[in-house]
Structure 1
Amino acid sequence: MSESVVPQSVESLWLELIAETEPKHKLMLPESALRLYYGRSARGFPQFFIRCKKRPSVPEVSSSIEATVAKRQDGEWALRFELVDLDFTHAFMSLAWNLAQASSAPATEDEGLSIFLSELAAWKRLLTFRPSDRRGLGEIRGLYAELWFGLEVLAHSVPLGIVLDSWGGPMGAPRDYAAPLPVAYEVKSVYPETGSIRISSAEQLDCDGPLELIVVRLIEVPIELANGESLPKIIGRYIDALGPDAKRRERFVEIFEKKLRVDVEDDYYNQFRFFVQGFKRFNVNDDFPVIRRSELASQIGAVDYSLTLAGLNQFEVEGASFQLHIEKDISVDS
């Protein structure tokens, strides 16, 4: 039975090879007919490759792994896999080990390569977007409302880069916008006739510093109407507005591709067009009707409740002026 976890000896040696100043490789399973080597690429990235007598086909793996084939000086071929996103180093090592184990039993190189490519294709199918991965209308509305508030409201008071640095909702943060902004914001989308909003946790409106609840009135409009905007459209506006800030642009796109698993090229998302009728601000102060995690007994787990909007009028913040007192952008690397 093959091991699914990379042996510590293999992982440690691989990390040592990556740290070398020149490309170095080690045969992963000497007893296997399929010769799979692991180590460091010429560019200094983690790499594994298969050495074979016949020219192999080049599979498409992912945007984080570059697959190439080249003829060696000894006349054999090398099918190379190079990791270009170091955040996935351990996963890359695990993939190589799994593929090496799966293709180690056959007695011939051709059979081993066939199993290797079949196993790799199975992994890709498992991790490929399918229609079931698509976000539902409620999630799309919520994302659009958060993005609209960041671009059309917050970005008029602070640099857009800081707005994006503060956007933590997609990463599982309790509130949609927080530090480095001096005020935290939780954004909710509602239909004009909606009378209440849902609060999905005891942490969502429990904040040590200033916090505002933002309620965005959002309607869906037919595709043919010019005043509607889709999720891909507002994402494109963000990318354009970031201009030369390449690092933030890349990180922004990565949020949708890797964190939210939203394929903005999927025409499915263009069928939902939204128009913002307005928004309201509510000051979540000590008197605001809210369930706070800090005030609950430790035995209480998940909390989900709703707030009636008509009962929040006394907490509404008049006007649309946001005095956030951030005048200078900060580096994305700071």
Structure 2
Amino acid sequence: MTRIEELWRDALQQVIVKPIEADGYRLTRMAPESRFDIYGGVDSTSFVLLAVGIQARPPNIATDSSSLDYFRQQRKDGSWLMVLRLRQNGLETVFGRLCQDLVDAAEGVPDEKALVSLFRERLNLWKKLFQHSGSGFLLAHEIKGLIAEMLTLEILLQRGERDLLETVSGWVGPLGSDQDFVYSDQAIEVKAVGLGVDSISISSLDQLHSEVRMHLVLATLRLATPGEHCAIGLNGLTARIEGLIAESPEALNTFKDRLLEARYVEHEFYDTILFEPTSIDCYAITDEFPKLIRAMVPKGIGSATYSIGIDWIKDFRSDMPT
């Protein structure tokens, strides 16, 4: 349990003894020694809050979410509170991890302006997480795809051909890039498939096109159950990668940002959906590789999706990229 979750638990117990007036809330400063005023608390309906105190008038930020809301309130001394409230019971653990991440990250920013920017950036990521799924959790096929990308990242880190920050920064799949990894000299697209699958889906005319050399990594993953020796999940894989990059704070922060962009936050739920990697194969995307790119299709065709038979790409198998 994070520090803010402990604070919420204590605050909710206090509400039983001393109720909060209607439409009110009660806050507790999280770290008296901190340079910034950051609070945890609850409102009169027992929804949990994160609040940040600042001197300047804070920005108005739309949440567009039924699970989260944000409001500003001026205090008697003229300063302001930026308040984020969770409005859906059952998501406190996920929200707590996110809030604690913001609190920890706040210790590294230089001033109030940077703190507000951090708050806004984190809120935009959290909106993405809560908007997509009412539970706040990734779906099984999304977990599978993210595991495949992270396994590829782990291989690249273990090979050590690039420094840690460059390796992690090149993982741009969570940012919506056409390829999952993009570096100055190569691009890598990662696909996760199940056992016995005979084709892979390509979602656009740009996915297998790059101005630099390119590879396709095909990760075959079998759905596994807890207790199986080779079963892995997002929580365990995240910890493994963090261990590989721990010596670089910049790489570690970038990795955590990528996970948030991918809508993942550590939770016990992710220990229940596990996969066993049965193979990780690599293919060189050459001019002869069976694919469709924009230069091949008639003018007027703006987009296309298609599938490629795995048997048809065996001759393009290559070593894993570095």
Shorter-chain TM-score above 0.5: yes
RMSD: 3.6
Q: Which residue of 2 aligns with 1:308?
A: 309
Counterparts of 2:259 and 2:157, CA distance in 1: 20
Residue 124 of structure 1, CA deviation: 4.3
Q: Which residue of 1 aligns with 2:166?
A: 162
Q: Which residue of 2 aligns with 1:144?
A: 147
**CA 1:245–1:82: 2 relative to 1, 3 Å:** farther
Q: Secondary structure at the match of 2:183?
A: coil
Counterparts of 2:172 and 2:29, CA distance in 1: 32
Counterparts of 2:39 and 2:221, CA distance in 1: 47
Letter in 1 for 2:27: V
**CA 1:131–1:232: 2 relative to 1, 3 Å:** farther
Letter in 1 for 2:304: V
Work out which of the residue numbers 225, 228, 236 in structure 1 matches 2:228. 225
Letter in 2 for 1:260: A
**CA 1:184–1:56: 2 relative to 1, 3 Å:** closer
Letter in 2 for 1:81: G
Does 2:254 align with 1:251? yes
**CA 1:170–1:303: 2 relative to 1, 3 Å:** same
2:157–2:244 contact (8 Å) kept in structure 1: no
**CA 1:299–1:124: 2 relative to 1, 3 Å:** farther
Q: How does 1:210-221 map to 2 (within 5 A)?
A: 210-221=213-224
**CA 1:133–1:99: 2 relative to 1, 3 Å:** closer
Letter in 1 for 2:176: G
Work out which of the residue numbers 198, 206, 211 in structure 2 matches 1:208. 211
Letter in 2 for 1:58: L
Does 2:206 align with 1:235? no
Letter in 1 for 2:314: N
Does 2:97 align with 1:94? no
Does 2:285 align with 1:289? no
Range with greater deviation from structure 2 (229-238 or 295-304): 295-304
1:146–1:187 contact (8 Å) kept in structure 2: yes
Does 2:43 align with 1:81? no
Q: Secondary structure at the match of 2:87?
A: helix
**CA 1:80–1:133: 2 relative to 1, 3 Å:** closer
Residue 244 of structure 1, CA deviation: 2.3
1:206–1:294 contact (8 Å) kept in structure 2: no
Counterparts of 1:173 and 1:281, CA distance in 2: 20
Letter in 2 for 1:225: E
Tell me the matched-pair count: 231
Report Cα offsets for 1:202-233 as digits up to 9, x if no partner: 11001112111111111122101122111111
Does 2:34 align with 1:57? no
**CA 1:136–1:236: 2 relative to 1, 3 Å:** same
* Normalised TM-score (structure 1): 0.60
**CA 1:248–1:284: 2 relative to 1, 3 Å:** same
Q: Secondary structure at the match of 1:275?
A: strand
Consecutive unaligned residues in structure 1, runs of 5 or more:
1-54, 70-78, 84-88, 110-115, 325-334
Letter in 2 for 1:220: L
Counterparts of 1:233 and 1:139, CA distance in 2: 16
Residue 297 of structure 1, CA deviation: 4.4
Counterparts of 2:313 and 2:27, CA distance in 1: 60
Report Cα offsets for 1:255-285 as digits up to 9, x if no partner: 223x122121x21111122221222221111
Q: Which residue of 2 aligns with 1:262?
A: 264
Letter in 2 for 1:67: I
Q: Secondary structure at the match of 2:244?
A: helix
Consecutive unaligned residues in structure 2, runs of 5 or more:
1-23, 31-35, 41-50, 63-69, 89-126
Q: Identity of counterpart residues, as a percentage?
A: 20
Counterparts of 2:52 and 2:272, CA distance in 1: 40
Q: Secondary structure at the match of 2:182?
A: coil
1:67–1:82 contact (8 Å) kept in structure 2: no
**CA 1:263–1:315: 2 relative to 1, 3 Å:** same
Residue 300 of structure 1, CA deviation: 2.1
Q: Which residue of 2 aligns with 1:299?
A: 300
**CA 1:95–1:289: 2 relative to 1, 3 Å:** closer
Q: Secondary structure at the match of 2:138?
A: coil
* Normalised TM-score (structure 2): 0.62
Residue 186 of structure 1, CA deviation: 0.5
